[in-house]
Every structure is written in C-alpha cells, then in structure tokens.
Structure 1
Amino acid sequence: MTMAPLETINLPHLPAELPVFVALYRNVENAEFLRQQLLAGNTEYEYALIDASMVLSRTHAITAIFRAVNDYLNNRLKSRNVHSEIVFSFLAANNIADSFRKFGIADTTKDLLVVKVPVSPEITHDSVATHLEASIKGTSVKFDDQILSEISDMAKIKKVYKLGALPTPGAKQASGTPDDANRRLELSVVGAIALRGS
C-alpha cells in the first residue's frame, strides 16, 4: 500500500518560509491515544487534529488554517498555540471549548485531518512525515475534495454553521446541479469563518 504524501501548502499572502503540512487519514484506529496526547500537552503531538467528517472541502480547511496562521503571525491568538487556533478557526463563533467539541479529534474519530505549522526550524516536511507515519494508525489518503466529499457529514456541518435552509450537496435539486449546492454551502461556510468576531 503506497502512502499518500504529506502535503506542503504555501498559503497565499503569508510568508513562504511558513508553509503548512497537511495529511488526511481514514480508518484511524488510535484516535483515543492521539487525543490523550493532546490533552496531556505532549509537545511531540502538537498538531491541529480535526475530525475530517466536519470538513466540507479543501477550501473550507485552508480558510480556517489561513485565519489561524495569519492570527499567529500578527500575535492575535485566542487559544494556546497556532495548532489549537486552527481548530478554533473552524467555528463561526468565539467559543474555544465548543470548537474542540465540534471540530477537534474525538475518541471515536475515524477520519482525521492533521495540520502542522513549522513554528521552529527543526520542524520540516520530513520530520513531520516520519512522526505521523509512526504515530497514526490509519490509511493516509489524498487531501482533496473528492475524498472529503466521501467523508463529510453534511447534516452536521450544516447544523454547526446554521445553514439548514441551504440545499444539501449531492441531493437531487429541482433547480441547479449538486455542484451549485456544494458551491453555495462552501461559500457560506467560508464566509462564516472569515466574518467571525468582526
């Protein structure tokens, strides 16, 4: 089985020397262990660990990551570090505990989005890839919209963002295509993240 590579993403409008490393896993078997490492403050496990069923699309994830990294660079963090800020940035409200309940890893998480920001020089693509390979018991998959569409829990995402009136992507619509519904939902979710606290 070939591993999907850890992806390095350079976010537009942010310094090139501060990329983010992103990996997506399915069928995770040790979510409880990973969550315990976070709760214990084990710095080796300082990642944003996001329940991927709550991620609508690549754009959704990158919007939350961008917001958190931008706040980190401008000394505006509301949580303890840039990784917890990423989880917090998924929520459209200013409630850190709620963001972890709704978007963070749970003991029952099976699909996991992992994000690492290299806040010190020794954090490299290779060091993160090696650590994740040793630490996460799951299948590494490509971080793309196709796979996320198989993972996303549309009903839960719409409920968290209070978007129940919007059509559900993938469902047959009287007017428009499933792509239109998906785009509308994505724009609403991204807008909610961007407008939080403004």
Structure 2
Amino acid sequence: MALRAQEYALFGGRTLYIAYYRDVKNSATLRQQILSQQVDAALINAEMIAGLFQLHVAASRALLSAQSDSLTTNSIHSELVFNLSGSRNVTDSLRRFGISNETTQLVVCAFDDASLLEKLQIEGTREDVDKIGDHLTADQITALKKLYKIQDTELEVSSLSDAIVCRIATKNVSK
C-alpha cells in the first residue's frame, strides 16, 4: 500500500506523508527510537483515530504553530500528536495518542520527507490509509466518546470524527 501525501497550500506547500499499519510487532523499539530522537516522525496509536480528517486538522494546527514559532512541544511531529487531543496537557496527550510498547495499530506521519517513514522499519502489515478509523471496536468508540466528552445526542446529527474534530479545533478556547 502506498503512502498518502497531503499538501497544505496555506503553509508553503508543506506535505504530510501518512502510513497506516496493523499487527505491529516492534512497538517498543519504535517508541524508543522516538524517545531518543533517532527518528523525527509522529507515531500515533491508531485506536485513538476516528478518521483521516482528524489527522489533517491536527496537522494543520501543528503547521500553524510552527509557522508562528509557537510550538507547545519540541517538534512539529510531537505537536501533531499533541493536537490530536482535546486536552491542553502535553504529557497526557502524548501518552494517550502516541505509541506505547503495546501498540499494535499504528499511524505514522512525517512532514515533507517520505523517506522518514521508510527508515522506521515497522514490523507490521501496511494497510490502505483510507481504512483508518474502520478498525474501531464498540469499546474503543465508547472510550473516545468519554475522552472527548461526546454525548449520544451529538452523534445523532454528526459523525464521531466530526465531533472529535470540533474538540480539537476549539481546545485553545474551551475551558
């Protein structure tokens, strides 16, 4: 399966490359590579992603922060992971949305350099990026609804992905 490339014209044509993996076997090694800054990419627990739009909104926020020299985290890739959360707590956001030693479903993102994704040597099955979000179980959906404080009545008029994106987009203005 090919990488997905998303160009952001509003940010000088910067490009986000996205890959999706299932049955990942070397999460602990990958996590250590990120923590030791051997690789500069975003490794995201796919169980926390309801759809591609969620990633695009977080990436846009990360690019905006980078463009205005106002990153909350130490890199644009960790900023992307941080922006997936509705919380303003960096540590909690990175812990919940980033890779853990037990992660088996992984979304990998890199800005501007697709070769970063290949350097990771992920031991897993690459899937079509359009399948991100299709993997969610009922328990994972319930956990996402609880995390983002989404009520069932809201889901009567919008999708889970849309509700999550609203939380991401407004996290700096909400209490």
Confirm or deny a common fold (TM above 0.5): yes
Match of 1:131 in 2: 119
Structure 1: which 5+ residue stretches go unaligned?
170-175
Q: How large is the RMSD of aligned CA atoms in angstroms?
A: 1.9
Deviation (angstroms), 1:8? 1.2
Per-residue displacement from partner, 1:110-155 (whole Å, max 9, x unpaired)? 000001012xxxx3x3x235324xx1001111111x4422246212
- In the superposition, the TM-score normalised over structure 1's length comes to 0.79
2:3 partner letter: L
| Partner residue of 1:115 out of 90, 109, 112 | 109
3-state SS in 1 of match to 2:11: coil
Measured in 2, the distance between the counterparts of 1:97 and 1:185 equals 24
Structure 2: which 5+ residue stretches go unaligned?
none
Match of 1:149 in 2: 134
Structure 1 residues 34-113: aligned runs within 5 Å: 34-42=30-38, 45-113=39-107
| Partner residue of 1:162 out of 149, 161, 171 | 149
For the pair shown, which has the larger CA radius of gyration, 1 or 2? 1
Given that residues 29 and 137 in structure 1 are in contact (C-alpha distance below 8 angstroms), is that contact kept between their aligned partners in structure 2? Answer: yes
Deviation (angstroms), 1:91? 1.0
3-state SS in 2 of match to 1:116: strand
1:193 partner letter: I
Given that residues 154 and 168 in structure 1 are in contact (C-alpha distance below 8 angstroms), is that contact kept between their aligned partners in structure 2? Answer: no
Given that residues 54 and 157 in structure 1 are in contact (C-alpha distance below 8 angstroms), is that contact kept between their aligned partners in structure 2? Answer: yes
More strand by share: 2
Given that residues 83 and 117 in structure 1 are in contact (C-alpha distance below 8 angstroms), is that contact kept between their aligned partners in structure 2? Answer: yes
Measured in 1, the distance between the counterparts of 2:18 and 2:68 equals 22
Measured in 1, the distance between the counterparts of 2:116 and 2:42 equals 13
Q: Once the two structures are aligned, what percentage of the paired residues are identical?
A: 29
Deviation (angstroms), 1:89? 0.2
3-state SS in 2 of match to 1:148: coil
Deviation (angstroms), 1:13? 2.6
Deviating beyond 3 angstroms after TM superposition, the runs of 4 or more aligned structure 1 residues are none
Deviation (angstroms), 1:41? 2.2
Deviation (angstroms), 1:184? 3.2
Per-residue displacement from partner, 1:144-182 (whole Å, max 9, x unpaired)? 1x442224621221121011x22697xxxxxx6xxx6xx
Match of 1:173 in 2: none
Change (3 A) 1:12 1:190: farther
Measured in 2, the distance between the counterparts of 1:105 and 1:91 equals 14
Given that residues 44 and 98 in structure 2 are in contact (C-alpha distance below 8 angstroms), is that contact kept between their aligned partners in structure 1? Answer: yes
Change (3 A) 1:129 1:184: closer
